[in-house]
Amino acid sequence: MSLSDDILSNLTGFSKAMYSTWFYYRPGRVLFDSGEGVSTTMDNFSFGIESIFLSHGHYDHIGGLPGILHARNSGRGDKEKPLQIFYPSGDSLIGALRDYTDRVCFRLSYKLIWNEVEPGQEISMRVGGKGVYCRAFQTQHTRTALTLGYSIIERRTKLRDEFSTHSKDRIRDLVVEYGRDHVMQRYDHTLLAYGGDSLTLDLKEVEGAEVVVHDATFLTEKDRDEPTHATSEEAIRLARDANVQCLVLHHVSSRYSADRILNTVASQVESIAPDLKVMVALGRSIQPARKRNSRKFLEQSSRV
Ligand SMILES: [Zn+2]
Ligand SMILES: [Zn+2]
């Protein structure tokens, strides 16, 4: 199994524009956003969450947070484990939710830590026993508040190019003589990037990523009335240009039927990036963008 497939198989969630969005990445025990329904869907797995990264304070991304906090306090899981919440610095809507949860979830059995985050901030965490970090990056969604995306990044080392033709023995000798840093170089590898709601993400933030979860509220530019969300075409182009292994489109508008979404995205992938693996989050399921020939779709597309 490729690394991107492995990451994808460990990603669950729900996404539908305007209603609710959240994604849980099990190896990192990390929840990205916490839209309505997250605690009832995750059930006892809610206790596994160690960090919650909030992209912004719109209801569809935070409406399920009190439920998570309450379930952890009252349920039978590991109630003593601390829970960290990270959110964009100065977000007044999340500030208001924090005040509300402080009132309704008092006397918590676990330590709840709220952290305001600035773009570029790095937070260390563990994924599958390995030390990784989460980096916050700025997104473009509302003009009135800071909005953030988050990348889980692995620090790796590789042989410096100038030693690529050297034998193993020679490299071992060089390490002994000059030290490891002389021979090896460090680099960052993005495992998973979550963009929340945003126009097209900054290419440098997702470059070379294994999996990118990107806003695709609209299928085409003509459906977009305000510059606050991306189109599926823009996300596919970005993933192609950034050499992303797998793109997950989310936050798709409910104005489109599932068939129309999958068929339109499949056509866009075919013409823009035929080799790119593209998945679409449709409610609870994350499925491949493959053409479906239902009568409903054909009727709808003939009307467009
Ligand atoms: Zn939003
Ligand atoms: Zn949203």
Going from the Cα of 199 to the center of ligand 1, the distance in angstroms, rounded, reads: 11
E strands within 77-147? 83-88, 112-117, 122-127, 130-138
Enter the pTM of the model: 0.91
pLDDT at 135: 97
Single out the residue of 77, 15, 24 nearest to residue 251, CA to CA: 15
Going from the Cα of 60 to the center of ligand 2, the distance in angstroms, rounded, reads: 5
pLDDT at 46: 85
Characterize the bridge pairing of strands 51-53 and 83-88. Answer: parallel
pLDDT exceeds cutoff 60 at 106: yes
Ligand nearest to the CA of 251: 2
pLDDT at 77: 67
Going from the Cα of 297 to the center of ligand 1, the distance in angstroms, rounded, reads: 28
pLDDT at 295: 56
235-246, pLDDT tens digit by residue?
999 999 999 999
In the structure, how many helices (H) and strands (E) does the chain have? Answer: 11, 14
Ligand nearest to the CA of 21: 2
**Under a CB-based contact definition with an 8 Å cutoff, are residues 230 and 214 in contact?**
yes
* CB under 5 Å of ion ligand 1: residues: 58, 197
Q: Using alpha carbons, list the distances in angstroms from residue 53 to 109, 202, 240, 283, 284.
A: 21, 19, 26, 20, 19
Going from the Cα of 131 to the center of ligand 1, the distance in angstroms, rounded, reads: 31
188-237, pLDDT tens digit by residue?
999 999 999 999 999 999 999 999 999 999 999 999 989 999 999 999 99
pLDDT exceeds cutoff 60 at 294: no
pLDDT at 45: 83
**Under a CB-based contact definition with an 8 Å cutoff, are residues 65 and 95 in contact?**
no
Going from the Cα of 58 to the center of ligand 2, the distance in angstroms, rounded, reads: 6
33-82, pLDDT tens digit by residue?
999 999 999 888 888 899 999 999 999 999 999 999 988 887 776 667 89
Going from the Cα of 57 to the center of ligand 2, the distance in angstroms, rounded, reads: 9
pLDDT exceeds cutoff 50 at 302: no
The alpha carbon torsion through 37, 38, 42, 43 (nearest 10 deg) reads: -60
Q: Counting every residue, how long is the chain? A: 304
Return mean pLDDT, the chain: 92
Single out the residue of 30, 97, 90 nearest to residue 59, CA to CA: 97
Going from the Cα of 239 to the center of ligand 1, the distance in angstroms, rounded, reads: 21
pLDDT exceeds cutoff 60 at 296: no
Ligand nearest to the CA of 58: 1
Ligand nearest to the CA of 215: 2
Going from the Cα of 39 to the center of ligand 2, the distance in angstroms, rounded, reads: 18
Going from the Cα of 184 to the center of ligand 1, the distance in angstroms, rounded, reads: 42
Q: How many CA atoms lie within 13 A of 262 on its CB side?
A: 19
Going from the Cα of 56 to the center of ligand 1, the distance in angstroms, rounded, reads: 7
Ligand nearest to the CA of 17: 2
Ligand nearest to the CA of 140: 1
Under DSSP, is residue 240 helix (H, G, I), strand (E, B) or coil? helix
Ligand nearest to the CA of 63: 2
* CB under 5 Å of ion ligand 2: residues: 60, 197
* Range name among 56-60, 88-92, 137-141, 155-159 with the lowest pLDDT average: 155-159
pLDDT at 47: 86
**Under a CB-based contact definition with an 8 Å cutoff, are residues 86 and 142 in contact?**
no
Ligand nearest to the CA of 61: 2
pLDDT at 301: 46
Ligand nearest to the CA of 216: 2
